[in-house]
Structure 1
Amino acid sequence: MKLVAGMAGSSESRESRVAVLVDCDNVPPVILDHALRFVAQFGRVVVRRGYGNSATLGAARWQDALTRQAFTPCLQYQYASGKNTADIALALDAMEMLFDEIVDTFCIVTSDSDFAHLCRKLRERGALVCIVGEEKTPSALRNASDHFSEWEPIIDSAPAEVARPASEIGSALRSAEPPRPPTKQRPLVIVKAVAMLAGDTPEGKVDLGALGNYMRRTDPSFTPKAYGHSGLLDMLRTYDLLKLHQEAGGHWAVTLNQERIAQMPVNPLTGRPSVT
């Protein structure tokens, strides 16, 4: 079953079309950012829906998260205690999108093993299925998908700023130097993107164009100029954690600088102490 071939013949329509379906009753709102970054490597996200009952979707934190990331809330009332109608709605919508050829790739955000059967059915029909879940996600669900990404809570270990008297703050402001021109920045998200994209390739490389497309999918407002660089190539040249390679034909590819990463006391990709 060729899902993409039946779509319009434009160059954009030949790109994989992705649906991100979130089981809001089962996962925390902060998982959305991770899910969108992860699934952007597989294609363009054209459907974003969050499913839950009135207690879940009525909570301010879910309303804020779904609104910020432009998700459509799909409210499902519980007709009887203990019956999860949101799960059934998610599964039915997924199959409908598959048969109507709206998308060919599904990212289901949940840790609930009840969705394992849905994953198997979608894959049997030729769809690519990704699961984004927490550490508690059972093997039955992980193995029912083509790709599984485990979301880990981020613990903010930055020390709190010590409050200073108002007189001291005023003195510091008066003696402050004039603002300097913005310096070139090297956001770690670029390194993490290279690690994700290059990790699935035999040579551990990612094409510069593919990297740029991925960054724009995850953040439509992304531009190297916002970080003080003239372009993506100029930006990557400032990273000591990355290596650039000019391939045949003149195009560029980028890999991780594994030697430099190994020298660091804390692995910047995992946040864990490096193994010596």
Structure 2
Amino acid sequence: MPERKRIALLIDCDNVSHNSIEGVLEELAKFGMVNVRHAHGDWNNPSLSGWIERLHPYAIRPMQQFAYTKGKNATDSAMIIDAMDLLYSKSVDAFALMTSDSDFTPLVVRILESGLPVYGFGEKKTPKPFVDACSPFIYTENLISKEDSDEKQPSPKRQINEERNKLRGDTSLVRLLRTAVEQTSEDDNWAHMSKIGHYISNNSSFSAVNYGYKKLGDLIRATELFDIEMRHDGTAMYIKDLRK
């Protein structure tokens, strides 16, 4: 069994909500073990009270940053120093940055240059340069559990049709999926799901979670743009573009 990645999670508490931390840790568990959990911020600031309540339950280490100068963000500088110390220590195999601040984009690029992946988590207000630099990048709003709504829900069939049409209307998504299938398919035009996933992760910040799906295969199935075959006793999924 391959050794699991050691992941360092660095949190910019000034720029992300504490409500999504459980979902972030659940997502990171898919990639490896989060053995470093540092939360940066000025803990004298009342606005971080929500984060304080999350530190002990999730074994997160608070990193105190005093605001020495008004208008200057000491948290950003401290997080960058923390990340570089961890990078040079070679004690981790990947980084996860939880922030909505594009100022960390150069840090992501520097980590990538060292051959380590960077998983990004931030709110939907996060600027595109930072989103695109990470692989993948997941919007934290999609990781917050929603309360059951009292609103009338559409019928299952209508809901499926509406979701399919919504996905098909996203031209960037359709182009990405079709390109990934085309680039990884064999001579018979069928592509293995794992190869499709690797192609997408190497070429974009895409995550199926941002579309409401836990798995890429479920998202592809929902578009109804591809043939799907389960082979090898149902353990391997193969995809083929319906246009082929």
What is the CA–CA distance in structure 1 between the aligned matches of 2:114 and 2:45, rounded to whole Å? 32
SS in 1 for 2:70: coil
In structure 2, what is the Cα distance between the partners aligned to 1:119 and 1:83? 21
Deviation at 1:86, TM superposition (A): 1.3
Query: Which residue in 2 is equivalent to 1:43?
Result: 32
Deviations 1:36-80 (A, max 9, x none): 112222111110111011344774321111211110011111101
Within the candidate set 156, 174, 178, 2:147 is matched to 156
Distance 1:34 1:66, change over 3 A: same
Distance in 1, Cα, partners of 2:34 & 2:68 = 32
What RMSD, in angstroms, separates the aligned Cα atoms of the two structures? 3.2
Q: Give, as a single letter, the amino acid of the residue that structure 1 aligns with 2:98.
A: V
Q: 1:141 maps to which residue?
A: 130
Paired residues of 1:57 and 1:73 also in contact (CA < 8 A): no
Structure 2 match to 1:111? 100
Q: Secondary structure at the match of 2:30?
A: helix
3-state SS, counterpart of residue 17 of structure 2: coil
Secondary structure of the 1:30 match is helix
Which string of whole-angstrom CA distances, capped at 9 and with x for unpartnered residues, describes residues 181-209 of structure 1? xxxxxxxxxxxxxxxxxx9996447xxxx
SS in 1 for 2:133: coil
TM-score between both structures, scaled by the size of structure 2: 0.60
CA distance in 2, matches of 1:140, 1:66: 29
Counterpart in the other structure of 1:253: 235
In the alignment, the residues of structure 2 paired with residue 56 and residue 122 of structure 1 have an alpha-carbon distance, to the nearest angstrom, of 30
Q: What is the alpha-carbon distance in structure 1 between the residues aligned to residue 236 and residue 52 of structure 2?
A: 38
Q: 2:113 aligns with which of 121, 124, 138?
A: 124
**Structure 1 residues 72, 254: closer, same or farther in 2, change over 3 A?**
farther
Find the counterpart in structure 2 of residue 17 from structure 1.
Answer: 6
Which structure features the higher share of helix residues?
2
* Shift in alpha-carbon separation, 1:246–1:140, aligned structure 2, 3 A: closer
**1:57 and 1:74 mapped to 2: Cα distance?**
16
CA contact (8 A) 1:19 1:107 kept: yes
| Matched residue SS, 1:45 | strand
1:154 Cα deviation (Å)? 4.5
Instruction: Calculate the TM-score normalised by the size of structure 1.
Output: 0.53
Higher RCO (C-alpha under 8 Å, 6+ residues apart) = 2
The alignment of Structure 1 onto Structure 2 pairs a total of residues equal to: 169
| Residue matched to 2:78 | 89
Q: Is the 8 A contact 2:192 2:236 kept in 1?
A: no
The aligned amino acid for 1:138 is: P
What is the deviation of 1:33?
Answer: 1.2
**Distance in 2 between residues matched to 1:90 and 1:121, nearest whole Å:** 14
Read off the aligned partner of 2:147 and give its amino acid letter. D
Provide the C-alpha distance between the structure 2 equivalents of 1:117 and 1:25, rounded to a whole number of angstroms: 19
Tell me the distance in 2 between the aligned counterparts of 1:147 and 1:94. 18
